[in-house]
Amino acid sequence: MTYDTNNIFAKILRGEIPCNKVHEDEYCIAFHDITPAAPVHVLVIPKGQYTSFHDFTAQAPAGMIQGFFASVRAVAMKLGVDQNGYRLVSNHGADASQSVPHFHVHILAGRSLGALLP
Ligand code: DGP
C-alpha cells in the first residue's frame, strides 16, 4: 500500500491537526484516542511513513523498530498501567478494520478488558 501523506495521523505528526499528546521522543508520538474504547486509550505512532505494523516491521530500520517498541513500553509506564495491565492492539488491513493508514499501536487499559474479541 502506498503511504497517503494526507492521512489524519500524518497531519497530527506535522502539527497540522491538534492532539492530546502524552509522550514524544525521537521515535514516536503518543496521544489519546478521539473515541476511547477503554478508560485509558492511547495511540502510539512512529515518526515515519509506515502504513501498518506489517509495513513498519518490513521497512523500518532495526533501531527504529526497537526504539519504537521500547517507547510503547515507556508510554505504558508513563500512563501508570503497567501494574494492573494493558492490552496492545495494532490493526493491519481491511479484515482488521484498520481505519487510519499510518501504523499505530493502541494501548488499552483502566479496567478489566475481558475477552480478546467480543
Ligand atoms: P484503527 O481502526 O486501528 O485504524 O484505529 C484508528 C483510531 O484512530 C480510532 O480508534 C480512532 C482514532 N482517531 C481517528 N481520527 C483521530 C483523530 O483525529 N484524533 C485522534 N486523537 N484519534 C483519532
Q: Which atom of ligand 1 is nearest to the CA of 19?
A: 21
CATH of the domain at 47: 3.30.428.10
What pLDDT shows up at residue 78?
98
Determine the atom of ligand 1 nearest the C-alpha atom of 97: 2
Per-residue confidence band for 46, with pLDDT thresholds at 50, 70 and 90: very high
Residue type, 50: Y
Asked if residue 2 belongs to a domain, the reply is no
Query: For the chain, what is the mean pLDDT?
Result: 97
Does the pLDDT value for residue 51 go beyond 90?
Answer: yes
Percent of the chain with pLDDT over 90: 97
Residue 71 lies in a domain: yes
Residue 43 lies in a domain: yes
Domain for residue 91, yes or no?
no
Instruction: Identify whether 48 is part of a domain.
Output: yes
pTM here?
0.98
Q: Is 32 an annotated catalytic residue?
A: no
Catalytic residue among 32, 41, 92, 104: 104
Domain total of the chain: 1
Phi, psi of 98 (to 5 degrees): -65, 125
Establish whether residue 31 lines the binding site of ligand 1, counting it when its CB lies within 6 angstroms of any ligand atom: yes
Give the pLDDT score at 1. 80
- The pLDDT confidence band at residue 93, using thresholds 50, 70 and 90, is very high
Sheet containing 105-109: order of strands = 21-24, 28-32, 40-46, 105-109, 86-89
Residue 102 in any domain: the answer is no
101 inside domain = no
Answer yes or no: is 15 within a domain: yes
pLDDT band at 111 (very low <50, low <70, confident <90, very high): very high
Long-range contacts for 56-59 (Cβ within 8 Å, ≥24 apart)? Answer: 56/103
Confirm if 101 and 52 have CB atoms less than 8 A apart.
yes
Question: Cβ(6) to ligand 1 under 6 A?
Answer: no
Query: Ligand 1: which atom is nearest the Cα of residue 32?
Result: 21
Average pLDDT over residues 28-53: 98
Confidence of residue 12 (pLDDT cuts 50, 70, 90): very high
- Which pLDDT belongs to residue 118? 79
Which domain covers residue 26, as residue numbers? 8-84
